[in-house]
Structure 1
Amino acid sequence: LTKDMYDEIVAEAPIISFHPDRLVAVKAKKGKESEVKRALEDALTVMKEQQIQYPVNVAKVNAGKVLEKDGYYCFMILGQTDDTSENDNDAAKFAEKQIDIGVKAFDNYFA
C-alpha cells in the first residue's frame, strides 16, 4: 500500500515475529479501491504461500481473509492460538471459528 491509495489506515501486528496475527483496515481513496484490494490480497497470498510458518500457525494463516465494504478493506489474520487440535482438519476448523469473530466485528461496524 502506498499513501496515494488510501485516506485512512490502521494497522496492528505483534512485536514477536512468531505470531502471524495481522490487522490492516483501510479506507481506500476514490478510484483506488481495486488497487487497495489487490495489495491486501497479494500480501495475504505471500503469507499463505511464500513465507515459512511455524506449524502451529499454518491453520490461522490459511484462515486469513481480505474483507471489503463501502470502500473499506480489511486484511485479517487473527484469533487465539490452537494448542488442542490433534489434526490439521480440527486446527482448520478452530482457525475458521476464530477468524469469523473478526469477520462479524467488521460486518457489524457497517450494520
Structure 2
Amino acid sequence: MIKTYFQNRITGAEFASLVEKRESFVLESVGDLDGAVDICTTTVASLGMIWRIDDNRPIWQDDVSSFMPGPLHLIYVLWRVGKDLLHRGLALNPDVVIVERPQSLYVRFRSSPAPATRNQSSVG
C-alpha cells in the first residue's frame, strides 16, 4: 500500500526522511514541484542510488500537435516517442523513479529482489 503525504503538512527535513526510508509514496498538493524534486534527488544521490525522473505533466506542444496536419503530427509523435526511449535508456534500472504529475509527486522505489535461498538437502 502506497502512503500519501501532503507537502503543506511536512517540512523539507521530513520529506528527506521519507525518501531515506526507501518506501514508495505520493506527495500531494506540491506548490514548488522543482524544489521537491531537488530535495528528492539530493537525498537519493546521498544514498548512492540511481534515479530517473518521468515528467507526466501536460505540455502545450501536445495540445498544439492535435491541430497539426497528419504528417506533421506523425513526425511530432515519433519525436516524442524517440525522446522518451532515449530518456529511459539513460537510466535502465533505476533504484528510484520520480514521477512528476500536476501538483503531485510519485516517488517509486524499486523493490529489492528476494534474497536467494539455497535448498540444502542431504544426499543419501
TM range (shorter): 0.3 to 0.5
Q: Larger relative CO (CA 8 A, sep 6+): 1 or 2?
A: 2
- Using the size of structure 2 for normalisation, the TM-score is 0.36
For the pair shown, the structure with the greater C-alpha radius of gyration is 2
